[in-house]
Amino acid sequence: MKRQRTIHRIQSEKIREPLRLAVAADLHSAPFDDVLEDFAQCDAVLLPGDLVDRHRRDNRNAERFLREVPEIVPVFYSVGNHERKYRHAEEYMRLVRESRVTLLDNASCLFRGIRIGGLSSRRDKVPDMDFLDRFEREKEFKLLLCHHPEMWRDYVRGRDIDFTLCGHAHGGQIQICGHGLYAPGQGLWPKLTHGVHDGGKMMISRGMTNGAKPRIPRIGNPCELIILELGGKSHE
């Protein structure tokens, strides 16, 4: 499967050193060998949910990712709806915690001067507001992994959070004149399917593979690996 590489640059006075981050959203336990070289050229890999596919009989590619990719580059992983709904969720999340991946389950950590947080998918679709309040008060450049764009729309937008990464919408599956046809959680003709929003404060990945069930083909909507290039703001 061909994956588009999308480079997005962010500048902020809060960023202490240049960073290059790969965003691998919605892999859904698909093969990933074609992006290993991209990962190796980055300072970290960010997973904004759905590394697994709850509809698969096994998730051997997701488990292989947990074993192999952290040996190449640091990995930060937040919880999506497929992790939450997977029938073997307890066993799988044990593997995540035992791996070298940094799990951000309504939690945050410092990485080379920036603070990376993960807002977990919730069955009732209401996020952990206490975590959001704590995260908003942090002083460093704040980068939030939030799987659901509609969760960002309802609970994150307008907060003092520098940048948010979302997935889940799969680019709207079929793109007509640049607009997605359908997205889970948003229905027909969704507004939040891909690209940059809110004056550059939020970005939605089209996803690394076709995670729709039944397997609806993508039309005009390539799978996507995002590369974030972070740097300090120039005063020249």
> The domain at 3-231 falls in which architecture?
4-Layer Sandwich (3.60)
* pLDDT tens-place string over residues 72-97: 999 999 999 999 999 999 999 999 99
Residue 235 confidence (pLDDT) above 50: no
* pLDDT tens-place string over residues 120-145: 998 777 899 999 999 999 999 999 99
Residues 6+ apart with CB under 8 A from 195: 203, 204
- The domain limits of the chain are 3-231
* pLDDT tens-place string over residues 25-52: 999 999 999 999 999 999 999 999 999 9
- Percent of all residues in the chain with a pLDDT value above 70, rounded to a whole number: 96
Return the minimum-mean-pLDDT range out of 20-29, 50-59, 103-112, 204-213: 204-213
Residue 215 confidence (pLDDT) above 90: no
pLDDT the model gives residue 213: 60
Beta strands 187-188; 182-183: pairing state: antiparallel
Distance CA 207, CA 203 (A): 12
